[in-house]
A and B are shown apart, each in its own frame.
Chain A
Amino acid sequence: MTFRELANILGAEVLVGDERMDSTIRDAFAADLLSDVLAFAKEGTLLITGITNPQVVRTAEMLELLGIVFVRGKRPDEEAVKLARAKKIPLLCTRYIMFETCGRLFSSGMVGCIERVENAGKTG
Chain B
Amino acid sequence: MQEKQAEPLLEQEFIVQGGDFIHAGEVSSSIKAILKEIGISHDVIRRAAIATYEAEMNVVCYARRAAFHLAITPDRLTVIAEDEGQGIADLERAMQEGFSTSSREIKEMGFGAGMGLPNIKKNTDELRISSVVGEGTRLEMVIFTRK
Contact = CB atoms under 8 A, between A and B. Distances in A.
Residue among A39, A49, A54, A56 with the most chain B CB within 10 A? Answer: A39
Contact of A53 (B28, B96, B110): B110
Interface stretch (B3-11, B71-79, B113-121, B132-140): B113-121
Contacts, number: 76
Contacts of B114: 35
Interface in A14-72: 32-39, 43, 49, 51, 53-56, 58-59, 61-64
Interface of A: 32-39, 43, 49, 51, 53-56, 58-59, 61-64, 79, 121-124
B122 A58 contact: no
Is the interface on chain B under 10, 10 to 19, 20 to 34, or 35 or more residues? 20 to 34
Given A38-B50, A38-B119, A51-B109, 19 more contacts: A33-B110, A34-B110, A34-B111, A35-B110, A35-B113, A35-B119, A39-B118, A39-B119, A39-B122, A43-B46, A51-B110, A53-B109, A54-B24, A58-B25, A58-B28, A58-B29, A61-B32, A62-B32, A121-B98
A79 to B, nearest CB: 6
Nearest to B29: A61
- Tell me whether chain A's interface is mostly helix, strand or loop, or mixed: helix
Contact of B115 (A36, A63, A64, A124): A36
A43 B42 CA distance: 11
Contacts of A62: 25, 28-29, 32, 49-50, 53
Pick from A34, A49, A56 the residue with the most CB of B within 10 Å. Answer: A34
A58 B24 CA distance: 8
Interface string B90-126: 0000011110000000000111111110110010000
Contacts of A39: 115, 118-119, 122
B38 interface: no
A122 B97 CA distance: 7
A11 B116 CA distance: 35
Contacts of B116: 35
